[in-house]
C-alpha cells in the first residue's frame, strides 16, 4: 500500500493517485529478500533480484532483459575508480531501471495510457517500455530538449508535447494534464525508485557482496540517488552487507539546489543566480524529493559537491579520451571525483555512475 510520508494515510496501489490528499509524497514499505544461491544462477539482468522487486505477477513484467551493467575498474588522473556503466541500457540511460519496474506495475494494475514529463531521458525510457507493453504514452518535454532525445521519444510512438518554458513549467503542464490520464512520473511514483535501487544490488554483487566506501552520482531529481540509498539500505537490513556507502551527490554549480540547502547552515551566500548548464539531465531547480535526498546524504555520511561548466567539459573530454562516450550530465559525476578525492585521507573503493550515452548530447561543439 502507498503511505503518505507526512500524515501516514494509506492508499491501495490500484488508486490512481500520485500524491496524498494532504499534498505530500507517497512511498511504500517493502521487504526485500536476497536468496543468493538462486540469484547467482539467473541471467545477468536486474530481474535476477526478483524477490527484492515489488511486482506480484511475473506475467506483468515488461522487460528487455536490461541491467547488470559492467562495473569497470579504470585509472583516471592517477586514481583507481570503479565506473558503473549505466549508459549501457536499451534506451541509453539508467532510467530504464526505473521504467522496467514502474511500467510493469502499471501493467499489473491494468492502466492503458500514461503521461510523463521529462528533460528527455526519462521520457524516452518510459516511451520505450510503454511501446513494449502496448500502453499509450504521452511525454511532455521542454521545447529546447536535445533533438536526439525528442526524436527518440517520437520514434517509440509516444505522443510528444513540447512546452515553451522551463523544466518546471513542463512538469506543471503534465501534472495538470494528469487529471485525466495516469501520471507515470519518475519523480513522484515510488515504484520508479524500486527499480533504480537495483543499481545498489548490482554494485554489491560485483564487489563480492560488499558495499564500496563511496558512490558518486549526478543528482537532479534524485531518482538514481534515492534508489541507490534504498538499495544499499535493503542489503544492510538483510545482513548481506555490513555498511552503508557514503552517497556523494554532485550538481552543476549553475543549478545546485541540494548543495545550497545542505550547506545553508555552514556558510551564507551560496545561493546562485539562475544560470544555464550543459548538464540538461539535472537542470532541476526544485527537486520534489529534496528533503529525502538531504536525509540520505546525512544518514550515509555522504556529501554534496558542485562542479563548474568548465570542469564538466574537461571531465567529458577525459572520459572520451579513455574511450567512453558519455552524456555531459554524466560527466558531472566524473568531475566530482576530484572534489571527493580531495576530501578524503585514505584509499577507498569508489564507484562513479556513468548515467547516460554521449550519442544523446545535443551540442557537440569543438570545446
Ligand atoms: C535523469 C538523469 C540524471 C539524474 O537523475 P535524477 O533522477 O534527476 O537525479 C543523470 N544523468 C542522466 C544521463 C540522466 O538522464
Ligand atoms: Zn498525507
Q: Which residues pair with 250 in a beta bridge?
A: 218, 305
Question: Across residues 188-216, what is the average pLDDT?
Answer: 98
Average pLDDT over residues 29-38: 96
The single residue listed with the C-alpha cell 521520457 is: 123
What is the spatial distance between Cα 153 and Cα 26, in angstroms, rounded to a whole number?
28
Quick one: pLDDT band at residue 366, thresholds 50, 70, 90? Answer: low
Q: What does the pLDDT average to over 246-275?
A: 83
Ligand 1 centroid – CA 220 distance (Å): 6
Closest ligand (CA of 4): 2
How far from the centroid of its chain's Cα atoms is residue 138's Cα? 20
DSSP per-residue string spanning 48-82: GGGGGS----GGG----S-----EEEEEETTEEEE
Residue 296 clears pLDDT 90, i.e. is over it: yes
Sequence-distant (≥ 6) Cβ neighbours of residue 78 within 8 angstroms: none
**Sign of the CA dihedral with 265 first, then 268, 270, and 273 last:** positive
pLDDT score at 340: 97
* Per-residue CA distances from 333 to 218, 313, 337 (Å): 5, 12, 7
Rounded mean pLDDT, 205-222: 98
Centre of ligand 1 from the C-alpha of residue 197, in Å? 14
In the reported structure, the alpha carbon of residue 227 is separated from the centroid of ligand 2 by a whole-number distance in angstroms of: 22
Q: Which three cell numbers stand for residue 182?
A: 495516469
User: Percent of the chain beyond pLDDT 70?
Assistant: 96
Give me the pLDDT at residue 16, please: 81
Closest by CA to 325, choosing from 364, 298, 276, is 364
pLDDT band at 269 (very low <50, low <70, confident <90, very high): low
Sign of CA dihedral 225, 42, 38, 60: positive
Distance 35 CA to ligand 1 centre (A): 30
pLDDT at 268: 57
Give the contacts of 323 (CB within 8 A, at least 6 positions apart). none
| Segment 171-198 mean pLDDT | 92
**Is 341 exposed, middle or buried, given 0-12, 13-18 or 19+ CB atoms closer than 10 A?**
middle
Structure confidence at residue 146 (pLDDT): 83
**Pairwise CA distance, residues 171 & 186, whole Å:** 11
Separation of CA 60 and ligand 2 centre (Å):
29
% of the chain with per-residue pLDDT over 90: 83
User: Residue 167 has what pLDDT?
Assistant: 85
Report the atom number in ligand 1 closest to the C-alpha of 360. Answer: 13
Burial of residue 27 (number of CB atoms within 10 Å: 0-12, 13-18, 19+): middle
> In whole angstroms, what is the distance from residue 306 CA to residue 206 CA?
29
Is the pLDDT at 293 greater than 70? The verdict is yes
In the chain, the largest separation of any two C-alpha atoms, in whole Å, equals: 54
| pLDDT above 80 for 274 | no
Q: Is ligand 1 within 6 A of the CB of residue 199?
A: no
For residue 287 and ligand 1, the question of a CB distance below 6 A is answered with no
Give me the DSSP letters along 168-193.
Answer: HHHHHHHHHHTTTSEE--TTT-HHHH
Cβ–Cβ under 8 Å, residues 297 and 229? no
Report the alpha-carbon distance of residue 242 to residue 232 in Å, rounded: 10
Ligand 1 mutation target, pool 88, 223, 228, 335, most atoms within 8 A of CB: 223
Whether ligand 1 lies within 6 angstroms of the CB of 257 is answered as no
Write down the pLDDT at residue 273.
Answer: 58
Provide the mean pLDDT of the chain. Answer: 94
Confidence of residue 164 (pLDDT cuts 50, 70, 90): very high
What is the pLDDT at residue 144? 85
Task: Please check the confidence at residue 270 and state whether its pLDDT lies above 70.
Answer: no
Q: Which sign, positive or negative, has the C-alpha torsion 334, 340, 342, 347?
A: negative
Strand partners, 113: 136
Q: How far is the CA of 17 from the centre of ligand 2 (A)?
A: 12
What is the rounded average pLDDT of the residues 149-159? 94
Nearest atom (ligand 1) to Cα of 87: 13
- 159: number of Cβ within 10 Å: 14
Rounded to the nearest angstrom, the distance between the alpha carbon of 292 and the centre of ligand 2 is: 16
Single out the residue of 114, 90, 118 nearest to residue 102, CA to CA.
114
Closest-approaching ligand to the CA atom of 218: 1
- Work out the pLDDT band at 76, boundaries 50, 70, 90: confident
- pLDDT tens digits, 87-143: 999 999 999 999 999 999 999 999 999 999 988 899 999 999 999 999 999 999 999
Cβ(195) – ligand 1 distance below 6 Å: no
- pLDDT > 90? residue 15: no
CB-ligand 1 contact for 223 (6 Å cutoff): yes
The predicted structure's pLDDT at residue 232 = 98
The average pLDDT across 272-300 equals: 90
Amino acid at each position: 500500500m502507498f503511505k503518505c510520508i507526512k500524515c501516514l494515510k494509506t492508499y491501495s496501489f490500484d488508486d490512481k493517485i500520485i500524491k496524498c490528499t494532504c499534498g505530500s509524497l507517497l512511498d511504500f514499505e517493502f521487504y526485500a529478500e536476497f536468496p543468493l544461491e538462486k540469484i547467482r544462477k539467473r541471467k545477468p539482468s536486474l530481474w535476477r533480484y526478483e524477490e527484492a522487486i515489488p511486482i506480484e505477477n511475473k506475467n506483468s513484467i515488461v522487460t528487455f532483459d536490461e541491467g547488470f551493467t559492467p562495473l569497470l575498474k579504470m585509472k583516471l588522473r592517477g586514481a583507481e575508480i570503479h565506473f558503473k556503466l549505466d549508459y549501457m541500457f536499451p534506451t541509453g540511460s539508467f532510467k530504464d531501471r526505473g521504467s522496467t519496474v514502474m511500467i510493469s506495475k502499471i501493467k499489473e494494475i491494468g492502466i492503458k495510457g500514461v503521461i510523463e514529463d521529462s528533460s528527455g531521458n526519462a521520457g524516452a525510457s518510459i516511451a520505450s517500455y510503454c511501446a513494449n507493453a502496448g500502453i499509450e504514452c504521452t511525454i511532455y518535454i521542454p521545447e529546447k530538449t536535445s533533438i536526439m532525445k525528442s526524436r527518440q521519444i517520437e520514434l517509440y510512438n509516444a505522443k510528444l508535447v513540447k512546452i515553451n518554458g522551463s523544466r518546471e513549467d513542463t512538469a506543471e503542464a503534465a501534472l495538470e494534464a494528469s487529471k485525466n490520464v495516469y501520471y507515470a512520473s519518475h519523480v513522484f511514483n515510488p515504484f520508479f525508485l524500486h527499480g533504480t535501487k537495483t543499481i545498489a544490488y548490482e554494485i554489491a554483487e560485483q564487489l563480492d557482496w560488499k558495499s564500496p566506501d563511496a558512490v558518486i552520482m549526478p543528482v537532479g531529481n534524485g531518482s538514481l540517488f534515492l534508489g541507490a540509498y534504498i538499495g544499499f539500505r535493503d542489503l544492510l537490513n538483510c545482513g548481506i552487507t555490513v555498511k552503508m556507502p557514503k552517497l556523494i551527490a554532485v550538481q552543476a554549480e549553475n543549478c545546485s539546489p541540494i548543495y545550497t540547502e545542505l550547506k545553508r547552515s555552514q556558510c551564507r551566500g551560496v545561493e546562485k543566480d539562475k544560470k544555464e548548464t550543459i548538464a540538461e539531465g539535472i537542470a532541476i531547480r526544485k527537486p520534489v524529493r529534496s528533503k529525502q535526498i538531504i536525509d540520505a546524504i546525512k544518514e550515509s555520511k555522504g556529501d554534496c559537491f558542485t562542479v563548474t561548466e568548465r570542469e564538466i567539459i574537461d571531465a567529458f573530454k577525459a572520459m572520451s579520451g579513455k574511450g567512453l562516450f558519455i552524456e555531459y550530465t554524466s560527466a558531472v559525476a566524473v568531475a566530482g571525483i576530484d572534489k571527493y578525492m580531495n576530501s578524503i585521507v585514505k584509499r577507498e573503493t569508489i564507484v562513479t555512475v556513468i548515467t547516460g550515452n554521449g550519442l544523446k548530447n545535443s551540442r557537440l561543439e569543438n570545446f
